[in-house]
Amino acid sequence: MDKLKKIKNHGNKTFEEIKHVDENGVEYWCARELQTVLDYKEWRKFENVIKKAMEACKNTGISTFEHFVGADKMVKIGSGAERKQIDYKLTRYACYLIAQNGDSRKKVIALAQTYFAIQTRKQEISEKEYSLLTEDEKRFYQRNLTRKGNYSLNQTAKKAGVRNFDKFHNSGYKGLYNGETADDIAKRKGLRYREDILDNMGSDELIANLFRISQAEQKLKRDNIQTEKEACKAHNKIGKIVRNAIKQAGRNYARKYAYTQKEFKTIRKRK
């Protein structure tokens, strides 16, 4: 039995089973639940491990606030009384650092170190590693990020009052592609019916769209937009801003990428 199987079979709950996903599709772990799985009986001792992990995070130059989010809550202690219970929402990287700073004598700690190291490695890639990827691999990596970004944008747009998502997304495409809708882009690229245009973009073009997506989401939140009309207007504006930046850089995304959606799926299966 390999290490990952041992991890999955450890205790009543596994690391994946206690994972949460918020309304924006972002995964996180609750420190109190992780404490139990890592076999720490006392919160006091586990909190010391968390503090060491936060210090390690800080020493790498990464903001601890991005990976260790305070999530204190009130809990009942009897007779209707309540008290504040300290807790944290942890990213996968935060869990990895906690495992690295945990009691190495505990077998489950060693398993956690392996598990979170492997999973973090799968989801994150350094700038140096990215530069060594082939174009196909870069496309695959950026396509996954774009898919996640679109999911998050859709959730935010829904809260902003968007109901016609085709109209909303086309507003962004029109801004970025000088008036072209998704259908227009597909026709220009010579795609077949229902082929995904994002599956037929190079890595640079995907990066441009990912930037449009992330900035559009931030604008919806920042401006507290509450109507579909204003959301579409904002998305279009962001698309134009990104287009102008690309134009100044002298890039052109008018050509069709060499791969079809079917071929893209074949590349994905090989990963």
Domain range list for the chain? 3-123, 127-269
Residue 69's pLDDT is 93
pLDDT digits (tens, 9 = 90+) for 83-95: 888 999 998 888 8
pLDDT digits (tens, 9 = 90+) for 198-208: 888 888 889 88
| Concatenated DSSP letters of 197-243 | GGGG--HHHHHHHHHHHHHHHHHHHHTT--SHHHHHHHHHHHHHHHH
Instruction: For residue 107, report the phi and psi dihedrals to the nearest 5 degrees.
Output: -60, -40
pLDDT tops 60 at residue 128? yes
pTM attached to this predicted model: 0.51
CB 231, CB 162: distance < 8 Å = yes
Q: What is the mean pLDDT of residues 50-60?
A: 87
Q: In percent, how much of the chain has pLDDT > 90?
A: 36
Q: Is 233 exposed, middle or buried (0-12, 13-18, 19+ CB in 10 A)?
A: middle
Question: What's the rounded Cα separation, in Å, for the pair 52 and 38?
Answer: 16
Q: What is the mean pLDDT of residues 257-270?
A: 45
Whole-number CA gyration radius for the chain: 22
pLDDT digits (tens, 9 = 90+) for 28-48: 999 999 999 998 999 999 999
